[in-house]
Amino acid sequence: MKFKKTDLNEVLKTLAREYTVFAPIVENEEKKFMPWAESKDVEMEGLNTIKPPKDVLFPNVEKMYRYKMGLEGFIEEIFPEDTKRILFGIRPCDMRSIDSMDKVFLTKEYVDSYYAKRRDDATIVAFGCTEAGRTCFCESMGLNPNDAPSADVMMNVSADGEDYVLEARTEKGEELVKKLEGLITDGGEAKKDTKCSLVINKAEDLDKKLAKMFEHPIWDKVTKGCIGCGTCTFVCPTCYCFDIDSENYGAEGCKYRCWDSCMFSDYTRLAGGANPRPTKKERLRNRYMHKLSYFNERYGETLCVGCGRCVEKCPAHLDISEFIEKASAAELGKEDK
């Protein structure tokens, strides 16, 4: 199935009648996922957004419940509204990141009800990359920049560059495509030849090797440039750490959660002042180990999706792809075996 590129706004307009549609929109010279409106400038092709679309499902600040103390006290949960959403045009790396968050928030005998509600209400249209950025290395992490297997609908530019080709892969996807009758036609060959320019040499068993490198000298070297700003965690599509805090107004208040960062010094600080990760070395080691080893041990896949955002935005020029290569090639010492 396919539709003309020139019909994109009409497609989004049709979908917006029943859904809140989040699309890659350029505003103030920055491309990010925002609710679509006819006045917005949608940019499907080109490079990926710097800010990932994960906050559509996992907001950076979210009220959980409000309360009142005293004889007339109460606790009232603030549950996500019934809003059918479409994430339209997310890249394969971001689709994979949502797959990872699904594992965290919906499996292992725990379901995060706030995330689950938004996820159930969401239909995801993935879009194959037409261009890879200089820091994109998803292929080296086992992904395909042209395909997102778990998306509800997969969309690519056609081979002749004139159309967008659609493939519905789930019931949600089929329901969405039906709403576009009259705008889409049969046929269409997808162009799937985008390659990452950054290719890294990654050991196949890197997760197991890193598990033996907790005290390796590599951590002292890689940490030298880090300034502990947390930028890497806030642009990462797979970081899901959050803090829970309160806002009190006399006898009333609310509990909310907000994104947090394992790169901050107070992230693991205990009530008595002790901190099991007192320096940047321990904090960066934990971040890289989580992405490349711990998550694999628990869920069976690497948490780094190779989107390159942390490499692009780190003010100290730390590069996780460079670390992966160095760790893959590193010799294990006696203390590591």
Beta bridge partners of 166: 155
Could you give the angle at the alpha carbon of 244 between the alpha carbons of 281 and 20, nearest 5°?
A: 105
Residue that the structure tokens 């706030």 belong to: 114
Give the model confidence (pLDDT) of 7-51 as tens digits: 999 999 999 999 999 999 999 889 999 999 998 989 999 999 999
Total domain count, the chain: 2
Q: Residue 212 has which token pair? A: 């033996």
Distance CA(208)–CA(310), nearest Å, equals 23
Residue 56 predicted with pLDDT over 90:
yes
Claim to verify: residue 225 and residue 326 sit in the same structural domain:
yes
Claim to verify: residue 117 and residue 210 sit in the same structural domain:
no
Claim to verify: residue 36 and residue 157 sit in the same structural domain:
yes
Q: What is the chain's mean pLDDT, rounded?
A: 94
pLDDT at 285: 97
Could you give the angle at the alpha carbon of 8 between the alpha carbons of 6 and 12, nearest 5°?
A: 155
Q: Which of 241, 176, 201, 160 is nearest to 322 (CA)?
A: 201
Q: 269 lies in which domain range?
A: 206-247+260-336
Give the model confidence (pLDDT) of 159-204 as tens digits: 999 999 999 999 999 999 999 999 999 999 999 999 998 999 999 9
The type of residue at 171 is E
SS3 162: coil
Claim to verify: residue 148 and residue 103 sit in the same structural domain:
yes
Claim to verify: residue 125 and residue 241 sit in the same structural domain:
no
Give domain status of residue 92, yes or no. Answer: yes
Claim to verify: residue 98 and residue 238 sit in the same structural domain:
no
Distance CA(33)–CA(186), nearest Å, equals 29
> Is residue 286 very low, low, confident or very high in pLDDT (cuts 50, 70, 90)?
very high
Distance CA(315)–CA(103), nearest Å, equals 31
> Is residue 72 very low, low, confident or very high in pLDDT (cuts 50, 70, 90)?
confident
Claim to verify: residue 223 and residue 142 sit in the same structural domain:
no
SS3 151: coil
Alpha-carbon radius of gyration of the chain: 22
Claim to verify: residue 166 and residue 223 sit in the same structural domain:
no
Give the model confidence (pLDDT) of 110-143 as tens digits: 899 999 999 999 999 999 999 999 999 999 999 9
Give domain status of residue 184, yes or no. Answer: no
Using a 10 angstrom Cβ sphere, with 0-12 exposed, 13-18 middle and 19 or more buried, the burial of residue 169 is: middle
